[in-house]
Amino acid sequence: MTAPPISSLCLHGKPASSAHEGFELSNIKSTIKNLPNTKLGSVFGRLRGSGASSKYGQLDDEDGGGGGGVVGGVPYQQAGGGDVPGGPVHSVDHVEIDHGPRDWRRHLEPNCPCKPDLSKRMTMAVLSSIGFLVSFGIRCNWGVALVPMTKGLTPEFDWSEKQIGFIDSSFFVGYLVTQVPGGFLAAKYPANRIFGTAIAASACLNMLIPASTSIGVGAIVLVRMTQGLIEGVTYPACHGIWRFWAPPMERSKLATLAFCGSYAGAVVGIPLSSFLTSAFGWRLCFYFYGICGIIWYIFWLWLSFERPASHPTISAQERQYIEESLGTTSQVAPTFANTPWKYIFCSLPVWAIIVANFCRSWTFYLLIISQPKYFDEVHNLDLKKSGVLGALPHLLMACVVPVGGQLADRLRKRQILTTTQVRKLFNCGGFGMEALFLLFVAFSRSTTAATAFLTLAVGFSGFAISGFNVNHLDIAPRYAPILMGISNGVGTLAGMFCPVVVEWITDKHPEMAAKQWQKILVIAAMIHFVGVIFYGLFASGDKQPWAEPATEAEPAQAGVRYPDPSAQFEGQQTAPPSYGSTAETNFVYDPASSQQPQKPAPPAPPSNPTYQQNTQAVYDPNAAWGEESTGQSYAYNQQQQQQW
């Protein structure tokens, strides 16, 4: 059929010119309405020929469309009179838009651009690790830039030692203040937003430090103290993220992968800042890390979400796996009033974490702050050589931390060891070996031997991160950000006291530097041995009775069952050892059966977004880690856990 000329066309009895204007208006409105489903190259519609149809059928009347469309696959048109199915089209009443492939829209979906099929929880862990890398790189800027600023042939600033010490300590003062408040913020507001905003704000403040130096010492102290106040919320917020994203059997993997960025930040930050300072001036390192933090924040806003339920492109299988493994948890954010402070501070497992954090922080800050001084006074190494040697221990630790997390979760997943046994083994083993090699360093007079022993000491301490640093999520997931704030705050106190002790011991009789540093290292080793004993006696991997509010929900809904102290006298069975499947995870335990619990029919998966492919493949949680499928049933059911 030959279409009539445009001049003879009419739309609802209107002249051709009016019809053309109506067509343009309806075309524009339809294009705007369907823009999210179109390519940018398909802005202009095409006239529909005989028998053609649009992907979206007829236009809505309110959008200026006529009556044309498709009914049951048969095209029809509405012009002047009734609908004539299958009749010839003599009116410009419909626009077909070439939607085509939506490649540009796929690139905007929150999927990892380097590996789109990477699991969302793994994406969160990698991004968190990069965020810590930037954060600790920012902390290295000041120490490196301080040397050309105050020393050399032409120092720019004539600051006294007291002023420099005041500037150095200002960051830690602010960092200490916001530890516990950061835990409450991460519990009340989306923890991913708290974490990302803190690092981005610290990066912006980092770019203000060069300008503040021209104002005075007070301005520098203000900027660095504000940086400390902001960065104090990062560790508690990170634990708030894993409260919703880390399945019990993957807590060690995800948390240690995120935390290893802090140690890698020290390894990368010191030499990179030194290179930028020596090549382009001391100001560039502040600007470089500030820009890196802003770029990271853009990706963080794009790819991170508070919990799996709010992620638009997470697969139904991964979301179901995470949510059912975590079970029913309290949805009410803890406040200062309803937080069980009495039970927290009377809990020996909590104090075991606090003591372990203090012990680890003592050696960490000892090496970060005073390691160059040790190599200079004992082994007569210049700053350049000691900087290279000082990076080796932290480089090894950055590699050991995620490996230890993988090993810890594998032992728990295969039920070789319980969660409590894994935490004690990794923490006490790491601390014990670190203390032993610190004693070797104390009595070594060879530079090679001292460097090797120090590297092994710090490397073994990386296994302890799979112990105390993840333990908050085991004993009280609801209060994990708050517990992290408390323990990390005490660890910050170690960072403030350790340099004072070092200065007090080494300030007298410089000719006896070797014996003085021997005393310092022995003290560090003894502190770690105390941590081994205390954590080995009182640590626990089981969820504590006070970890969930008892009056918030019915026990059958909350899935919380506290042990009855009189149960053993009434002949009742006790609960099985915990491999990470606490009351929170809703595992079914049948005392009469020694077989593994069977997986019931899973609930209906959540609905997928319209642009997400609906795959029917069986979800393997080990696929994201490159592991083999275990074949064991760690699935999660909706039946209430039987009473202990």
**Per-residue pLDDT reduced to its tens digit, 235-268:** 999 989 998 898 988 888 898 999 889 888 888 8
Domain assignment present for residue 600? The answer is no
- Alpha-carbon distance of 177 to 181, in angstroms, equals 8
Of 547, 563, 582, the residue at which a domain comes to its end is 547
Q: 3-class SS at 10?
A: coil
Q: How are the residues of the chain apportioned to helix, strand and coil, as percentages rounded to the nearest 5? A: 60, 0, 35
> Tokens standing for 641?
């856990």
CA–CA separation, 505 vs 502, rounded Å?
5
Q: For residues 495 and 170, what is the distance between their CA atoms, to the nearest angstrom?
A: 13
pLDDT band of residue 432 (cuts 50, 70, 90) is very high
Angle between the N-to-C axes of helices 120-150 and 251-280, in degrees from 0 to 180, rounded to the nearest 10: 30
* Phi-psi map region of 39: left, alpha, beta (phi>0 left; psi -120 to 50 alpha): beta
- List the Cα angle 591/596/600 in 5-degree steps: 100
How many angstroms separate the CA atoms of 193 and 203, rounded?
15
Long-range contacts (CB closer than 8 Å, 24 or more residues apart) made by 442-448: 442/517, 442/518, 442/521, 442/522, 442/525, 443/518, 445/378, 445/514, 447/375, 447/379, 447/381
Shared-domain flag, residues 129 and 66: no
Taking the C-alpha atoms of residue 61 and residue 187, their distance in angstroms, rounded to an integer, is 49
Residues 167 and 30 in one domain: no
pTM > 0.75: yes or no: no
- Of 514, 547, 580, the residue at which a domain comes to its end is 547
Instruction: Tell me 310's DSSP state.
Output: G
Tell me: do 127 and 100 sit in the same domain.
no
CATH of the domain at 237: 1.20.1250.20
Cα 479 from Cα 343, distance rounded (Å): 12
Verify that 322 and 386 share a domain, yes or no: yes
Q: Check whether residue 190 and residue 220 sit in a common domain.
A: yes
Q: Verify that 370 and 303 share a domain, yes or no.
A: yes
In a domain? residue 342: yes
Residue 468 carries which side chain, given as an amino acid letter?
F
Pairing of strands 69-71, 74-76: antiparallel
| Residue 556 in domain | no
With respect to residue 626, please indicate whether it lies within any of the assigned structural domains.
no
Q: Are residues 96 and 132 in the same domain?
A: no
Q: Kindly state whether residue 631 falls inside one of the protein's structural domains.
A: no
With respect to residue 252, please indicate whether it lies within any of the assigned structural domains: yes
CA atoms of 329 and 343, how far apart (whole Å)? 19
What is the per-residue pLDDT across 204-232, written as a single tens digit (0 to 9) for each?
999 999 999 999 889 999 999 999 999 99
User: In this predicted model, what pLDDT tens digit does every residue of 53-88 receive, in sequence order?
Assistant: 333 333 333 343 444 443 334 443 444 444 444 444
Half-sphere exposure of 581 (CA within 13 A, CB side): 21
On the question of pLDDT at 640 being above 90, the answer is: no
Burial 1-19 (b: 16+ CB within 10 A, else e): eeeeeeeebbbeeeeeeeb
Average pLDDT on 453-474 reads 92
Domain holding 35, by residue range, is 6-106
Share of residues in the chain with pLDDT > 90 (%): 33
State whether 79 and 217 are in the same domain: no
- Residue 588 within any structural domain of the chain: no
Phi, psi of 70 (to 5 degrees): -130, 130
Listed residue (456, 498, 416) closest to 408, CA to CA: 416
Count the domains in the chain.
Answer: 2
Confidence at residue 447, expressed as pLDDT on a 0 to 100 scale:
86
Distances (CA, A) of 126 to 72, 122, 133, 256, 622: 50, 6, 11, 10, 16
Query: Any alpha helices (H) in 281-382, and if so which ranges?
Result: 282-303, 316-326, 341-345, 348-379
- Give the per-residue pLDDT at 330: 58
Both tokens assigned to 298: 């853009």
Q: Are residues 93 and 173 in the same domain?
A: no
Say if CB 298 and CB 200 are below 8 A apart: no
Same domain, 35 and 156: no
Residue by residue, DSSP assigns 174-186 as HHHHTHHHHHHHH
Contact 240, 485 (CB under 8 A): no
* Shared-domain flag, residues 264 and 211: yes
Single-letter residue type at 270: I
C-alpha angle 542-547-549 in degrees, rounded to nearest 5: 145
Residue 624 belongs to some domain of the structure: no
pLDDT score of 328: 65
State the amino acid at position 35 in one-letter form. Answer: L
In whole angstroms, give the CA distance from residue 607 to residue 619. Answer: 16
The mean of the pLDDT values for the chain is 74
Which of 106, 140, 155 marks a domain boundary? Answer: 106
Q: What is the mean pLDDT of residues 314-322?
A: 91
Within this chain, do residues 39 and 178 fall inside the same structural domain, yes or no?
Answer: no
